[in-house]
Amino acid sequence: MDAPRRDATASEPLWTAEDVAAFLRVSLSMVYKLRRQGSLPAVRVGALFRFRPEAVRGFASDDGLAGDPGRR
């Protein structure tokens, strides 16, 4: 029996809010605000939130401005 296939991103660990803040160069409170707004998807692990690196990179490549008409 063959082992299930995994793509490279499946083995990448989830990021903490601190990791995301450092990657995006924003404050920790901004990461949580973006999560609350639904702009930055997160995975709930118990009482904690974790972020998929590919989702954060996608957010960053879109400049994170989609759905936020107040920012230019």
Q: What residue ranges do the domains of the chain occupy?
A: 12-61
Average pLDDT of each block of 10 consecutive residues along the chain (72 residues)? Answer: 52 95 96 96 96 96 58 42
Rounded Cα gap, residues 47 and 62, in angstroms = 29
Count Cα atoms within 13 angstroms, Cβ side, for 23.
20
CATH of domain 12-61: 1.10.1660.10
pLDDT (0 to 100) of residue 70 = 47
In angstroms, the Cα distances linking 34 to 11, 29, 41 are: 25, 9, 8
pLDDT (0 to 100) of residue 11 = 78
pLDDT (0 to 100) of residue 42 = 97
pLDDT (0 to 100) of residue 7 = 54
- On the 0-12 / 13-18 / 19+ scale of CB atoms within 10 A, 15 is buried
pLDDT (0 to 100) of residue 62 = 83
